[in-house]
């Protein structure tokens, strides 16, 4: 088990020095240990920026990794070998804190639950609002009140293109046809 506070004390100053803010970090064993640091543009949480506006470029991520690696080596908060990765949380970013859920109200999310709601342990819908320790998720006409402590994991769900219009049919609305050319007589 690692000391998250000790690790955080090393990571945050380096991330901040590069004009970024720490979203989250994780240490996972995936055929070898990997320390993943998720960063975004400074002020993204406070300004409640969407994932596009909060995105950070690869150059900043590489500078953070370059400076973070020796800082981690010096403080040695992880007792074994690992690979360091620094990147953006992405468009399907994890939602871990209550503030994450509040920030992305109106967005589509997938929640995995401990005990389940209405017989389901996995729900997908729009984050309607956060009321104290309850997340309100809407799926069409259905609304689910989910205790924050019941959420095992959650992430945003990326949707391609604009949402369909109410009452509209999916797919193209018009078809172009090509009329055959007429031969001209000479």
Tens of pLDDT, residues 6-21: 999 999 999 999 999 9
Q: Per-residue pLDDT averaged across 116-141, rounded?
A: 92
- In this predicted structure, what is the pLDDT of residue 178? 39
Residue 79 above 80 pLDDT? yes
Residue 181 above 60 pLDDT? no
Instruction: Give the predicted TM-score (pTM) of the model.
Output: 0.75
Residue 175 above 50 pLDDT? no
- Calculate the average pLDDT of the chain: 87
Q: Which domains are assigned to the chain? A: 4-87 (3.30.300.70), 98-156 (2.30.30.100)
Using alpha carbons, select from 45, 5, 3 the residue that is nearest to residue 21: 45
Residue 184 above 50 pLDDT? no
Q: Per-residue pLDDT averaged across 55-64, rounded?
A: 95
- In this predicted structure, what is the pLDDT of residue 150? 95
Q: Per-residue pLDDT averaged across 158-167, rounded?
A: 71
């Amino acid at each position: 088990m690692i000391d998250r506070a000790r690790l955080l004390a090393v990571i945050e100053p380096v991330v901040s020095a590069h004009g970024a803010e720490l979203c989250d970090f994780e240490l996972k064993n995936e055929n070898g240990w990997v320390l993943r640091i998720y960063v975004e543009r400074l002020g993204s949480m406070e300004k409640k920026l969407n994932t596009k506006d909060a995105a950070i470029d690869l150059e900043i991520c590489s500078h953070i990794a370059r400076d973070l690696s020796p800082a981690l080596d010096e403080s040695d908060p992880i007792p074994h070998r690992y690979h360091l990765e620094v990147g953006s949380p992405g468009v399907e970013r994890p939602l871990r804190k209550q503030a994450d859920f509040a920030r992305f109200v109106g967005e589509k999310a997938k929640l995995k639950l401990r005990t389940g709601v209405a017989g389901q342990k996995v729900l997908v819908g729009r984050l309607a609002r956060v009321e104290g320790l309850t997340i309100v998720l809407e799926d069409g006409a259905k609304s689910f009140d989910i205790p924050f402590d019941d959420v095992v994991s959650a992430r945003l769900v990326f949707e391609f293109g604009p949402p369909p219009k109410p009452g509209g049919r999916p797919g193209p609305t018009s078809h172009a046809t090509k009329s055959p050319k007429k031969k001209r007589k000479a």
